[in-house]
């Protein structure tokens, strides 16, 4: 082993300091290249406000849905290809590995890549993936032309084409409908057998019944109508046109608390029956013969918010 001279020791010291400085510089540069870390640090010590787009911003309303549709499957928190995330305005500003500012209009790398022909090696979305329309790309360009802001709202972009209306249907809770139907299902089935083609549910999504007894070969009587008493609370529509019912059915009808539509035209029923059903809480429409309806009764129905259709007998 050679004797160590002071000069060598000084050299070693200098070298190690140099390496330490270089390593620190390298670490600092590495941290600086992590835009999200830098932003988090600045936010946590209060140097800058939290970076995010306003809820009603043009970005959130019009631009984010485009990225969501075409980009986010590869550029989100789970799979940040090229270290780029497009799942929020905040992440977009961190720009990914390119470190290019993606909120400026000029030479915007994102737009440049989206403009490339679909089969280009560098095209985004890549070849084979669902691709944005020209109109969507124009919308992004328009947003960038006004500064790529997370603050500006749709009012600031009057030239932007109107947003396509999206019709959304409420989710149907089939289990809940089944639960509502289940308690009286046997009684409903029995009535469907007893009165074929006369009893059905209002819709697949409803537990309420529509009962049409007007086309029975044998006109239904007051007595027969009592057969519906077990399901009275489910009947929403009842057509008794040309049936044999009289005012004696009033009690059976009053029990139909969900009844919305009633047709008693061309029956033996009188104004007395109409007076009694008028207070049903859900009743909206009634069809009755003109001979039993006078002006006073009409006004009473109007006051109750029920449309009374007067049927002239032919």
Partner 1 sequence: MKQIKVWDFATRLFHWLLVTLILAAWYTIENRMIEQHELIGHALLGLIIFRICWGFIGSTTARFTHFLTSPLSALSYLKASLTLNAPHSSGHNPAGGWMVIMMLLIIGFQLLSGMYANDDLGFSGALSDSITKDMSDTFTQLHAINFNILVALIWLHLVAVFFYLLVKNENLVRAMFSGKKPVNQINPQDQLNFKPLLQAMVCLLASVGLGFWLMV
Q: Provide the binding-site residues for partner 1, judged by CB under 8 A.
A: 1-2, 4, 8-9, 11-12, 15-16, 19, 23, 26, 74, 78-79, 81, 121-122, 126-128
- For partner 1, which is the closer residue by CB, 15 or 174? 15
Contacts of 144 (CB under 8 A, 6+ apart): 103, 104, 105, 108, 111
Distance CA 72, CA 167 (A): 23
Q: Structure tokens of 291?
A: 């001979």
- For partner 1, which is the closer residue by CB, 121 or 168? 121
- For partner 1, which is the closer residue by CB, 23 or 279? 23
Q: Is 287 helix (H, G, I), strand (E, B) or coil?
A: strand
Q: Structure tokens of 13?
A: 């010291």
- Residue 240: phi and psi, rounded to 5, are -110, 20
- For partner 1, which is the closer residue by CB, 6 or 314? 6
- For partner 1, which is the closer residue by CB, 4 or 166? 4
Instruction: Give, in order, the Cα–Cα distances in Å from 167 to each of 51, 164, 170, 171.
Output: 32, 10, 10, 13
- N- to C-terminal Cα distance for the chain? 128
Distance CA 277, CA 308 (A): 12
State the minimum distance, in angstroms, from the CB of residue 210 to partner 1: 49
State the minimum distance, in angstroms, from the CB of residue 108 to partner 1: 19
State the minimum distance, in angstroms, from the CB of residue 107 to partner 1: 20
Distance CA 26, CA 201 (A): 73
- For partner 1, which is the closer residue by CB, 128 or 196? 128
State the minimum distance, in angstroms, from the CB of residue 21 to partner 1: 12
State the minimum distance, in angstroms, from the CB of residue 307 to partner 1: 59
- For partner 1, which is the closer residue by CB, 17 or 174? 17
State the minimum distance, in angstroms, from the CB of residue 229 to partner 1: 58
At CB < 8 A and 24+ separation, what contacts does 280-284 make?
280/253, 280/254, 280/256, 281/257, 282/236, 282/257, 282/258, 283/259, 284/260
State the minimum distance, in angstroms, from the CB of residue 33 to partner 1: 11
């Amino acid at each position: 082993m050679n004797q160590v001279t002071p000069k060598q020791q000084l050299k070693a010291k200098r070298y190690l300091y140099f390496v330490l400085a270089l390593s620190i510089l390298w670490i600092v540069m590495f941290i600086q290249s992590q835009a999200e870390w830098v932003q988090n640090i600045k936010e946590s010590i209060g140097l800058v406000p939290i970076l995010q787009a306003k809820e009603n911003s043009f970005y959130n309303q019009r631009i984010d849905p485009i990225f969501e549709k075409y980009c986010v499957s590869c550029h989100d928190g789970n799979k940040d290809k090229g270290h780029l995330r497009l799942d929020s305005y905040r992440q977009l500003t961190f720009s990914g590995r390119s470190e290019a500012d993606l909120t400026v209009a000029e030479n915007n790398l994102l737009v440049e890549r989206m403009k490339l022909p679909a089969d280009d090696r560098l095209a985004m979305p890549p070849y084979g993936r669902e691709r944005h329309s020209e109109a969507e790309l124009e919308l992004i360009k328009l947003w960038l032309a006004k500064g790529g802001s997370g603050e500006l709202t749709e009012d600031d972009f009057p030239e932007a084409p109107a947003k396509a209306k999206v019709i959304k249907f409420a989710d149907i809770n089939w289990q809940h409908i089944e639960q509502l139907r289940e308690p009286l299902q046997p009684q409903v089935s029995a009535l469907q057998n007893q009165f074929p083609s006369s009893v059905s549910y209002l819709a697949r999504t409803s537990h309420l019944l529509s009962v049409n007894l007007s086309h029975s070969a044998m006109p239904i009587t007051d007595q027969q109508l009592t057969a519906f008493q077990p399901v009275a609370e489910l009947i929403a529509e009842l057509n008794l046109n040309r049936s044999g019912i009289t005012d004696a059915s009033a009690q059976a009808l009053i029990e139909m608390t969900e009844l919305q539509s009633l047709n008693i035209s061309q029956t033996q029923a009188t104004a007395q029956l109409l007076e009694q059903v008028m207070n049903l809480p859900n009743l909206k429409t009634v069809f009755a013969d003109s001979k039993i309806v006078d002006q006073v009764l009409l006004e009473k129905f109007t006051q109750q918010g029920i449309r009374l259709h007067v049927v002239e007998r032919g």
